[in-house]
Structure 1
């Protein structure tokens, strides 16, 4: 069995939740940037990989949002790993199932401004959903509405790719999201992204399965909201990742089109 699993070091529970944020600049800016130094792979508990979140321009509180693990113009990820959803350090004897992704969208969208998610051209039928949950207050003090996609296809650990990653099928969804809940103020377009999978590393062996998961925050607005009609919100792109640190670590970083990936 491989010694290096996608869980944190023994001093940190594999069930711990890490929060963080990294942004992706437009491809034209990324290609003009100075060469990157070699980066260490970022390995989180369970489902790893990089997903791009983009929000289109708008002069109102409604934004067109796309979440995709297969962007058409991706640029470089923070650690140089490919876009996609995948597992590291799997064991061919292992059992891997019950994978799911939850996107929490800021605001109570269950009674007003309901969100209809649609499948993009690259979205795999292996990802079923979403189901809408009950709006809840998250650790940042704001209310968010959860949308859950579950992975219904078998995950075969014998199908590890040549780059030693066990890939899940593509995730590609989009929706128009209205962040106006009254008055002229637009709630910030913010998300919590949660990934979870059940891992029984030794399969039919004596080991117990573990639920491996992590969560991170993404903010697609430079400011903490803007007034409808004050001008178009800029088109922005975000690449989610988890970073080390606990619940008290920085959860929000403004996107700066002029900066490199960080």
Structure 2
């Protein structure tokens, strides 16, 4: 009786293991292209899948395995730029040296880099893309065989056909106006307003009161100066007459 119960439990556990997502190992569905194909361990690295992920994939992540690294996640779970039809590019989160330092190891020999196509919710794997990287010395690496990409990152991460409206963080253009990411037209002056409001050659912009001010000030100066001259002249005549009167009285 006990053996029969154990057999039933084992069968149920086996059936449950079959139905649980992510328990079966996923097959290799293609290779990865590593760019730069050969460089120092401090450069940013990108991975490009040979083709799109299998049907049912809604996300991906990438790991690196080798001396001192045991399935270390080098690309966190994401679905950015993922495709089910064409190959896509994803950046490795940090440099190879960063992973060596974080795991307190020295990179040496060959490592496998694997990108896992998964269901983002259940983590069930539908296939993997793999490549090998060799570290002949701790500070340098070289991708092995067909995984060796160009010497520089020249391919954009976001596919060219992805428009502004589909890119994360970019607002779509507004119909009948200008949206984010589009050049704004030059501002035009309102109808009837001159394009150079401070141009002295434009008579409509010249303040006539400021032109009349210097002329009025000069006339006022002349009036005051003339009045002062008359007062001084009159005072001089009065003094002269007073002196003449005193001289005549003294002579008598």
> Do they fold alike, i.e. is TM over 0.5?
no
TM-score (norm 1): 0.22
TM-score (norm 2): 0.23
Q: By percentage of residues, which structure has more helix? A: 2
Q: Which has the higher contact order (CA 8 A, sep 6+)?
A: 1
- The structure with the largest alpha-carbon Rg is 2
